[in-house]
Amino acid sequence: MSYLVIQLPARERLRPGATAAARTAGEYAYVTSADGRSVAAHGRCAPALLPKADTVVAVVADTDVGWHRPTLPKAPPSKLRAALVGVLEDALLDEPDAMHFALAPDAAAGQPTWVAVVHKGWLAAHLAALEQAGVVVERVVPSSWPGDEPQGHFWLPAGADADAPPMLTWSDAQGVATLRLAGGLARALQPQWQRESTRWSATPAAAAAAEQWLGQPVRVVSDDERALQAARSLWNLRQFDLAPRHRGTRALRALARQLLGPAWRPVRVGLAALAVVHVVGLNLWAWQQREAIAERRQAMVELLRSTHPQVRSVLDAPLQMQRETALLRASAGRAGDADLEALLGAAAAAWPEDQGPAPSLRYESGRLSFGAAGWSAPHVEAFGQRLRAGGWRVEAADGRVTVSRPADAAGGRS
């Protein structure tokens, strides 16, 4: 499954009169991956030129996400956002209607939970611009999020000089904070951050300054690698008003991506194995049936040759057996089921008691017909029922009744 991770540019603080949509124009940095862990390709291009992928994830910069930890109100889903506004209203720096809220993956009603807060108009404008270009973002994730494992990442803002002091994003169980190293706050908090369990990382441009500030080496992580790491998180900021609305082909595409995901791999393997076993079983059964049919045909050929040694070329064993048996019967002076004697005997046995002899008879090719102009419909029906019980065929039309032996019955008795 292929992945496309789009790095949303950091939100610029608007000048008076500017609009959020104006900032979405331009290019997006992106990363592609075949497994979601290693970088396959990266670059920057306009939304319409972004590569196609099975899964599309957008990553929000650290400076664009605020973090709060209230007790999640017990409210129905349709009223949960309004309940969150009532809980967080005093802690927000902007109007609640202008903010977008997203709950942590493990949020439970009545329990403390992390809530990510993003500028709603800015994020909605980016999603709309990408969707207009045919890029449907399934998930939006933060670059950093609160977690039990303390982490510190050093990076340089876009457009900053190489010798400019880097920024530090710190995340632990207490939340996420982004500070400038040039200020005194970062230096004051440094002692409590330097723990043995802390994982330090830095972008290539900020690595030297970070090691000098820490006094220890740091792991170098590129922006592309960090974006892939963020895309693997369980967070999804597309909630409430910005939740994706799958309809029609989007719903089918989402279902297909879900079925092709890692969680469904055992099911896919099991279905594939079942299909292979089924195909192999069908082929084995078909082979056995072909062998059984071939054995029966060979048995019929052997029976024909043993019964009628004079037959040298066997083309249709049942038909040839019928013909040879009919010749033997004729040469022995015995009547067959379709001969005149058998037809007369059958007709005489079923003849109506109140009817006289037939005025005329005709025999041809195993069919006996006679005139029955004086017969009523009950006479014809009773005559036919008696003969059909013995395996004969009776037809009545134009004042004549025809008696014959069905082809399969005649062949089986010949």
Nearest one of 42, 206, 217, 53 to 139, comparing CA atoms:
53
The continuous run of DSSP H or E covering 356 comes out as none
Of 389, 392, 411, which is closest to residue 336 (Cα–Cα)? 411
Rounded Cα–Cα distance for residues 29 and 47 (Å): 10
Phi, psi (deg, nearest 5) at residue 157: -65, 155
Local structure of 332: helix, strand or coil: coil
Per-residue pLDDT band at 152 (split at 50, 70, 90): very high
Higher local confidence (pLDDT), 139 or 14: 139
Q: Which residues contact 195 (CB under 8 A, 6 or more apart)?
A: 150
User: Angle of helix 317-331 relative to helix 265-307, nearest 10 degrees?
Assistant: 20
169 or 193: which carries more pLDDT confidence? 169
Contact between 19 and 71 (Cβ < 8 Å): no
Is residue 19 over pLDDT 70?
Answer: no
Would you say residue 24 has pLDDT above 80?
no
pLDDT greater than 60 at residue 321: yes
Residue ranges covered by each domain of the chain: 3-145+233-260, 148-208, 277-323, 335-413
What was the pLDDT predicted at 372? Answer: 84
Query: Where are the alpha helices (H) located in 133-263, listed in sequence order?
Result: 184-193, 207-214, 223-231, 249-259
Instruction: Indicate yes or no: pTM above 0.75.
Output: no
| One-letter-per-residue 3-state SS of 231-266 | HCCCCCCCCHHHCCCCCCHHHHHHHHHHHCCHHHHH
pLDDT at 414 over 50: no
Q: What is the distance, to the nearest Å, from the Cα of residue 59 to the centroid of all Cα atoms in its chain?
A: 27
Average pLDDT of span 281-299: 92
Residue 253: pLDDT band by 50, 70, 90 thresholds? low
> What confidence tier does 280 reach under pLDDT thresholds 50, 70, 90?
very high
Whose CA is closest to 135, among 233, 226, 30?
Answer: 30
Q: Give the DSSP letter of residue 64.
A: G
Check whether 334 has a pLDDT greater than 70: no
**pLDDT band at residue 247 under the 50/70/90 scheme:** low
CB neighbour burial string for 109-127, b if at least 16 within 10 angstroms, e if fewer: eeeebbbbbbbbbbbbbbb
Pairing relation of β-strands 361-364 and 393-397?
A: unpaired
Tokens of 412: 């089986």
**Domain 3-145+233-260: top CATH class:** alpha beta
- For residue 355, the one-letter residue type is Q
Task: Return the pLDDT at 335.
Answer: 61
Using DSSP, state whether 280 is helix, strand or coil: helix
Q: Domain 335-413, what architecture?
A: 2-Layer Sandwich (3.30)
Structure tokens at 27: 């290019």
**7 φ, ψ to 5°?**
-95, 110
- Residue 114's pLDDT band (cuts 50, 70, 90): very high
Name the pLDDT band for 411 (thresholds 50, 70, 90): very low
* pLDDT > 90: percent of the chain: 47
Instruction: Specify which residues 112 forms β-bridges with.
Output: 71
Mean pLDDT of 97-116: 93
Residue 412: predicted pLDDT: 44
3-145+233-260 and 335-413, same CATH topology: no
